[in-house]
């Protein structure tokens, strides 16, 4: 058996998902055993195609890509995130069609199968809406027993949302699935939108990393160009990459400088409250601390991991 940690990534690529994937593929300590694909940032046909392209860019066509749910479990959301990531999710650069094809197995079934194959060792990282994971849990509620660690990018732990005033995109896109996953996994790590905002990169610094003479940097420079311009215009001098921060913490938990363990619940109702991640900061409910929330990560470690992943040959 490989000494490496088996890593399964549920993702909706997406420009920041792509950076997280580059980091995952670059890690010597981890073995990416599959990419299960959700709809979210853009539609499933695009997120699957983007995952196929990304595995090609890193020279890993052997890593299976499993298409998952084409939309949320219950309600169709009002909007996707094409205005941030481009209509195709990868900056509309018109990249050539990827060579490989996706697997026939559904993402939810692949999650369950791989959880058996890597029982007790699997690192599961969720970078998109939690639809595939919720479906997997409904098919087999014993899934958490076989997952060594679940890291979720999602939520806004003091209700400073990015898709509604209180909701973060991954949770707000499919709150019912988020409720299933975040209430049925007894323990998980949560890297939320507010942690993302606290760990931005300076645009000029990021541009220097993107100028590296490597196919990965060239590809990433191209697909992220539109979103970097949008970000600089809207958010100022720092560029934020939610999924990259979650991946840094997943790959290198020692980099966390401050974390808090608290009960977290997802609100599924209410015109304004739907998609809220309610954190019981003062432990008033008596609920168990199910979430370990990332508050502060070593910025230098984060940045050097991103830089190295981009520069890799
Ligand atoms: C999350 O939403 C998506 O747009 C990003 O890929 C990230 O996973 C941030 O709210
Ligand atoms: Ca994502």
Give tens-digit pLDDT for 284-303: 999 999 999 999 999 999 99
Ligand positioned closest to the Cα atom of 174? 1
For residue 84, the ligand 1 atom closest to its alpha carbon is 4
The answer on pLDDT for 35 being more than 80 is yes
Give CA angle at 36 (132, 182), nearest 5°: 40
Enclosing domain of residue 55: 5-311
Residue 9: pLDDT band with limits 50, 70, 90: very high
For residue 41, the ligand 1 atom closest to its alpha carbon is 4
Q: Mark residue 108 as left, alpha or beta (left: phi above 0; alpha: psi -120 to 50; beta: remaining).
A: alpha
Pocket of ligand 1 (CB under 6 A): 14, 16-17, 41, 81, 84, 127-128, 153, 162, 168-170, 193, 242-243
Strand 5-11 to 122-126 pairing: parallel
Give tens-digit pLDDT for 146-163: 999 999 999 999 999 999
Mean pLDDT confidence for 112-123: 98
- pTM of the complete model: 0.97
The predicted structure's pLDDT at residue 281: 98
Q: Which residues pair with 292 in a beta bridge?
A: 189, 261
The predicted structure's pLDDT at residue 166: 98
240: which 2 tokens? 């934020």
Q: How far does CA 235 lie from the centroid of its chain?
A: 21
Q: Whose CA is nearest to atom 10 of ligand 1?
A: 169
User: Given ligand 1 and candidates 22, 161, 170, 245, which is best to mutate, with the most ligand atoms within 8 Å of its CB?
Assistant: 170
Mean pLDDT is lowest, of 93-102, 167-176, 228-237, 267-276, for 228-237
Strand 30-37 to 65-67 pairing: parallel
Q: Count of residues for the chain? A: 313
Number of domains in the chain: 1
CA of 31 to the centre of ligand 1 (A): 23
User: Given ligand 1 and candidates 168, 242, 277, 294, which is best to mutate, with the most ligand atoms within 8 Å of its CB?
Assistant: 242
Residue 177: pLDDT band with limits 50, 70, 90: very high
How many CB atoms are closer than 10 A to CB 202?
12
For residue 196, the ligand 1 atom closest to its alpha carbon is 9
The predicted structure's pLDDT at residue 168: 98
The predicted structure's pLDDT at residue 82: 82
Residue 257 exposure: Cα atoms within 13 Å on the Cβ side: 10
**Contacts of 237 by beta carbon, 8 Å cutoff, 6+ apart:** 202, 203
CATH of the domain at 188: 3.90.245.10
Across all residues in the chain, what is the average pLDDT?
96
The predicted structure's pLDDT at residue 304: 97
The predicted structure's pLDDT at residue 1: 61
């Amino acid at each position: 058996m490989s000494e490496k940690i088996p890593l399964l990534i549920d993702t909706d690529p997406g420009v920041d998902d792509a950076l997280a994937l580059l980091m995952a593929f670059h890690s010597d300590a981890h073995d990416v055993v599959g990419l299960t694909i959700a709809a979210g940032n853009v539609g499933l046909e695009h997120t699957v195609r983007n995952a196929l392209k990304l595995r090609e860019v890193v020279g890993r066509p052997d890593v299976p890509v499993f298409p998952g749910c084409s939309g949320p479990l219950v309600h169709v959301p009002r909007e996707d995130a094409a205005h941030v990531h481009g209509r195709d999710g990868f900056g509309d650069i018109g990249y050539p069609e990827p060579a490989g094809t996706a697997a026939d197995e559904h993402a939810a079934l692949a999650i369950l199968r791989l959880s058996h194959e890597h029982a007790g060792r699997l690192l599961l990282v969720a970078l998109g809406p939690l639809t595939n994971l919720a479906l997997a849990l409904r098919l087999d509620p014993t899934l958490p027993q076989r997952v060594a660690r679940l890291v979720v990018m999602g939520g806004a732990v003091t209700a400073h949302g990015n898709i509604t005033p209180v909701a973060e995109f991954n949770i707000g896109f499919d709150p019912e699935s988020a409720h299933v996953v975040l209430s049925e996994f007894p323990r998980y790590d949560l890297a939320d939108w507010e942690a993302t905002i606290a760990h931005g990169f300076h645009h000029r610094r990021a541009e220097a990393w993107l100028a590296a003479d490597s196919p990965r940097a060239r590809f990433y420079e191209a697909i992220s160009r539109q979103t970097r311009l949008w970000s600089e215009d809207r958010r100022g001098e720092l560029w934020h990459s939610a999924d990259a921060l979650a991946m840094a913490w997943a790959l290198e938990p020692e980099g966390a400088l401050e974390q808090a363990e608290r009960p977290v619940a997802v609100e599924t109702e209410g015109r304004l409250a739907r998609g809220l991640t309610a954190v019981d900061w003062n432990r008033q409910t008596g609920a168990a601390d199910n979430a370990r929330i990332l508050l502060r990560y070593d910025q230098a470690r984060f940045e050097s991991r991103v830089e190295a992943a981009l520069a890799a040959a």
